[in-house]
Amino acid sequence: MDAFQRRKRQTDLRNGEANDIELANASSSKEHRSVTRGHRVNHNGHRVTKHIQPEGESGRSGFHPLKFLKICFRSASPACAMVNVLWPVVPAAIAVRYARHDLTLAVFILNYIAMVPCANLVGFAGQEFARKLPRVIGILAETTLGSVVEIVLFMVLLKHGETKVIEDAILGSILATLLLCLGLCFFVGGMTQDEQHFDEAISEVGNGLLLTAGLGLIVPTAYYITLSGNAEFADVTSEEELQRNAVTISRITSIVLIIAYGFYVFFNMRTHHGIYDSIFLKDEHKDKDRDEDLAKNKLTLTESLIALAISLGLVSLIAVNLVEEIPKIVEGYGVSETFMGLILVPVVEKFAEHLTAIDEAYDNTMNLAMSHVLGATIQTAMFNGPLAVIAGWGLSVNMDLNFDLFTLVIVILAIIVVGNFLRDQKSNYLEGALCVLVYIIIAVGAFYFPTPHHAAAAGETTPAEGGH
């Protein structure tokens, strides 16, 4: 009966899609634009540039320094704007890194904090740029740009041969987004609404892709753990051969996962674009801050690109400074390598995306929040992580998906737990609190997880000797 009702719902949604979009466009026409002398005019009375969406039209062109700084400091939400008070830490972090490189702990802490406003600017600039694109394409672009911080960190870690930290960071990023961010979305939204509902098209596709990604990530580890130390296979496979095979399996798996991610993007942008466009548009009209948000000044296209260039440059510089200190912190201060990769790195790299999703949940636009949470998780599992493996292949670094059993089991269980929460298409603060508390338990376990003996010599290992 459930399957029949699900198919009927999907059919009704597709049949009503044209009407939904037509009504939405009619509403949008009344609310956001009018036709004056043959030109479109948006909600603020600005003439809409060709190929730019009305909600993203700034009414200006080029680059205006004072307006640029004022708009960027205002940021996307009050929470994001509060983060901008940390900007003085950025020059301080860079100065201390080059003036007093011997202050390892101070350099690490300052650069860790400095990553937050830089990542926040990446998120804001990506959001401003996404507003100028069609709705579904814009959300995908915003999610992708938000993940650039993660990709930069992975590439810098890869260059320094920190493959173990990357492996933990891949799974840690999934955990931080699924449990911490989604849990905070459920909790914050549940404090304003008894229950929040999200569409089946968002949760079902997201849950299916997460399970697919989890299966792909577990195969190299399952292969290695099954055969390593097994007397039955001792005469057939040596330890060196097992490691080589695990790397090869990881590379093939990474290629397949990237192809799967391509299908997901095509699914969103082409074959089911209308369904998602209708869902997101309805959510936007439920946003209680919609009128205030529409009235805000926007960055021009040029300013959005400049903000992205500045923020990505700073993120790259801060990432290099941060990564250089990781081996010293692990070795000199007794911080677990697993805690570093599983908790500390993912939290800072995903900070901007988390704030955006939590703000959307607070505004009762749960489908938008879910799309950011699940989209970021799927991109990490099916694109960013596999991309690190492929990049390592090109750099002759033995980067693979042969994770620790401890972290992998936790991530698979987290995917299953969250999948159960998504099944009924509704959320409340209790589910959110449970997700956050589970994440805290995992963080405690990672903090006490011992660092392998070989990690102490990691700094002496050349990139080509990285991996297991």
Per-residue pLDDT at 9: 53
pTM: 0.78
Per-residue pLDDT at 27: 45
- Nearest 5°: phi and psi at 40? -75, 140
* Residue 10: band (very low, low, confident or very high) from pLDDT cuts 50, 70, 90: low
Stretch (H or E) spanning 427 = strand 426-427
DSSP state letter for 195? -
- Residues 22-75 have pLDDT tens digits of 444 444 444 444 434 445 775 556 676 776 766 766 677 788 888 888 888 887
- Residues 263-318 have pLDDT tens digits of 888 877 765 555 666 776 676 666 666 666 666 778 888 888 899 899 888 988 89
Instruction: Please state the separation of Cα 349 from the chain's center in Å.
Output: 8
Per-residue pLDDT at 159: 86
Sign for the CA dihedral angle at 435, 441, 447, 452 comes to negative
CA nearest 392: which of 153, 159, 147, 151?
159
- The answer to whether 274 and 17 have CB atoms below 8 angstroms apart is yes
| pLDDT at residue 126 is higher than 60 | yes
- Nearest 5°: phi and psi at 84? -65, -10
* Token reading at 423: 């099944």
| Domains of the chain, start order | 30-59 (no CATH), 64-465 (1.20.1420.30)
Q: Of 174-183, 280-289, 444-453, which range is least confident?
A: 280-289
| pLDDT at residue 258 is higher than 60 | yes
Per-residue pLDDT at 28: 44
Per-residue pLDDT at 32: 43
Question: Mean pLDDT over all residues of the chain?
Answer: 79
Residue 421 Cα distances to 129, 203, 355, angstroms: 32, 10, 21
Q: Is 45 left (phi over 0), alpha (psi -120 to 50) or beta?
A: left
145-159, 192-206, 346-360, 438-452 — most confident range: 438-452
137-141, 288-292, 295-299, 353-357 — most confident range: 353-357
Q: Of 9-23, 224-238, 424-438, which range is least confident?
A: 9-23
Say which residue, 47 or 89, is predicted with more confidence.
89
